[in-house]
Amino acid sequence: MGFKKITAAVLTVIFLGMAGCSGGSQMEQNEMLLDKDKPVTITIWHYYNGVQQLSFDEMVQEFNDTVGMEKGIIVEAFSKNSVNELAKSVMETVDQGGKDAPDIFGTYAETAYLVDEKGMLADLSPYFTQEELDEYVAAYINEGDIGNDGRLMIFPAAKSTEVFVLNVTDWVDFASSCGVTYDDLKTWEGLTATAEKYYDFTDAQTPDVPNDGKAFFGRDSKGNYMVVGAKQLGHPFISYNDNGEVEYSCDKDTLKRLWANYYVPFVKGCFASESRFRSDDMRIGAILGMVCSNTGAMYWPTEVTVDDSYTYQVDTVILPVPDFMGTDSYACQQGAGLSVMKSDAKTEYACAVFLEWFTEDERNLQFSVNSGYLPVKKDTNDFDKVLATSPDMGSVMADTFKTAIDEVNSRTLYTAPPSEKSAEIRDFVGSYLDDTSISDAATVKERVAAGEERSKVLEDYCSDSAFETWYAGFVSGFESIIG
């Protein structure tokens, strides 16, 4: 009996040793693909601009001068200026059979899904151990498993979420006069009620001029509001059932809450969208607060200019994005990952070497600090580590990182699952909300200016019957996409 136990133990040790050698052998085989005297050149297409592009280019150069030179890898990076332009360029090369395609490209899941459908996307999982992948934020790795089949088709590089930016200088007088606090901004319902109070408060400042209240709030991505909100309310627009089949939803109750907390306050003049970005609206005093990507911190206003004639300094406070009342807390997960085109083993492995190097702790922290993006590993999603990387970071940037990192670590991150129609659906749900809000708000304003009573005009747009009309238009547009 003792002999059998000893023999079993010895065999176990031998087996584990062989397994270890097998893993090591695979890594050694991968390394043997590279030759510093015969370097492989890999191209990257990304969408970074400005400071973000400068930071990325510096890191590419550092790689080429160090690890790349040592292993025989040369990286060439090109910016396509925007996510949409990048996706368009990638799909054009894919439709041409991959001619002149990049080796690595920045992408959201929707584009990666379409490239994978054509069999042209590389699975990166063979180039990383599970232990290595476990170092990354789980939601980021899960997003890369676009087929829900264990393949890693998108590698996390730099991520972002949304934050609430508030002009606290102008908030103070309003808050003390109307008895509102930051707690009122924790839910979309509370924000909507606060925005109505602000409209009434500012309207009362000019008693001789009726109906000239100011908007309190605006947001950049209406798509994020709709997609994350629908998920939070229990009825996402896109989901997969247990059989792996895609399912679509236009749940009426869900859409009514989304409508009631954006469209309704917008047509009432309590929300606004006047410029290309809401930061520009804050800069001209058109709104007091906004929800936007945390990557925009370096562009947020430090002063407000009214009518091009009066400018004053303002301070801002960074708050979490509101949740819907009575729901679990969610945060949008955004920021394109990096995918690799299917090619030969040498090129794919060279791409994996760069991706692993780029996301090493200190390097990824440095890129995050320089670009405003969030780190992608669990250990580096730590505000103290971010601050230690840049001790002289400005207070607004620091507050932004702190709030965004808190959201990542405490909320459920969400991005819609990819499907053949997911990009179209995302565009539609955001643009439908945006277009109807802007158009109907303009009509309300015109009718009131023409002498109609504001409260009666608003009944035509904010009543249950008005929602029925809005909802019917939404469903019609949605169904035209899914067929």
The predicted pLDDT at position 6 comes to 41
What are 77-126's pLDDT values in tens digits? 999 999 999 999 999 999 999 889 999 999 999 999 999 999 999 999 99
Distances (CA, A) of 474 to 271, 427, 434, 457: 21, 12, 12, 22
How far is 38 from 57, CA to CA, in rounded Å?
23
Distances (CA, A) of 58 to 349, 393, 461: 22, 20, 52
The predicted pLDDT at position 51 comes to 87
Domain positions in the chain: 1-32, 34-159+335-381, 162-332+415-482
Q: Which residues of 265-286 are buried (b: 16+ CB within 10 A; e: fewer)?
A: bbbbbbbbbeeeebbbbbbebb
Q: Please check whether residue 292 is in contact with residue 162, taking contact to mean a CB–CB distance below 8 angstroms.
A: yes
Confidence of residue 15 (pLDDT cuts 50, 70, 90): very low
Residue 404 neighbours by CB distance under 10 Å: 29
Coil vs helix vs strand at 325: coil
Helices (H) and strands (E) in the chain, counts: 20, 14
Residue 10 has pLDDT above 80, yes or no: no
Q: Which residues of 372-394 are buried (b: 16+ CB within 10 A; e: fewer)?
A: bbbbbbeebbebebbbebbeebe
How far is 478 from 483, CA to CA, in rounded Å?
9
Percent of the chain with pLDDT over 70: 94
What are 385-411's pLDDT values in tens digits? 999 999 999 999 999 999 999 999 999
Determine the average pLDDT of the residues in 141-153.
95
CA atoms within 13 A on the CB side of 480: 8
Residue 2 has pLDDT above 60, yes or no: no
The predicted pLDDT at position 29 comes to 78
The predicted pLDDT at position 18 comes to 41
Question: Which option is the CATH number for 162-332+415-482: 1.10.3720.10, 3.30.70.20, 3.40.50.720, 3.40.190.10?
Answer: 3.40.190.10
What are 261-302's pLDDT values in tens digits? 999 999 999 999 999 999 999 999 999 999 999 999 988 899
Tokens of 461: 């747009």
What are 310-330's pLDDT values in tens digits? 999 999 999 999 999 999 999
The predicted pLDDT at position 23 comes to 47
The predicted pLDDT at position 298 comes to 83
Q: Please check whether residue 214 is in contact with residue 413, taking contact to mean a CB–CB distance below 8 angstroms.
A: no
Give the mean pLDDT of the chain.
94
Determine the average pLDDT of the residues in 331-343.
97
Residue 423 has pLDDT above 50, yes or no: yes
**Strands of 7-121, DSSP E:** 40-46, 73-79, 104-107
How far is 88 from 316, CA to CA, in rounded Å?
37
Residue 356 has pLDDT above 80, yes or no: yes
Residue 19 has pLDDT above 50, yes or no: no
Determine the average pLDDT of the residues in 344-366.
97
The predicted pLDDT at position 17 comes to 43
The predicted pLDDT at position 99 comes to 86
Residue 30 has pLDDT above 90, yes or no: no
pTM over 0.85: yes
Residue 307 has pLDDT above 90, yes or no: no
How far is 204 from 395, CA to CA, in rounded Å?
34
Determine the average pLDDT of the residues in 19-42.
76
Percent of the chain with pLDDT over 90: 89
20-29, 195-204, 210-219: lowest mean pLDDT where? 20-29
Q: Please check whether residue 303 is in contact with residue 311, taking contact to mean a CB–CB distance below 8 angstroms.
A: yes
Determine the average pLDDT of the residues in 416-426.
95
Superfamily of segment(s) 34-159+335-381: Periplasmic binding protein-like II (3.40.190.10)
Tokens of 335: 């920021």
Confidence of residue 28 (pLDDT cuts 50, 70, 90): confident
Determine the average pLDDT of the residues in 180-202.
99
Q: Please check whether residue 174 is in contact with residue 292, taking contact to mean a CB–CB distance below 8 angstroms.
A: no
What are 38-84's pLDDT values in tens digits? 999 999 999 999 888 999 999 999 999 999 999 999 999 999 999 99
Residue 483 has pLDDT above 60, yes or no: yes
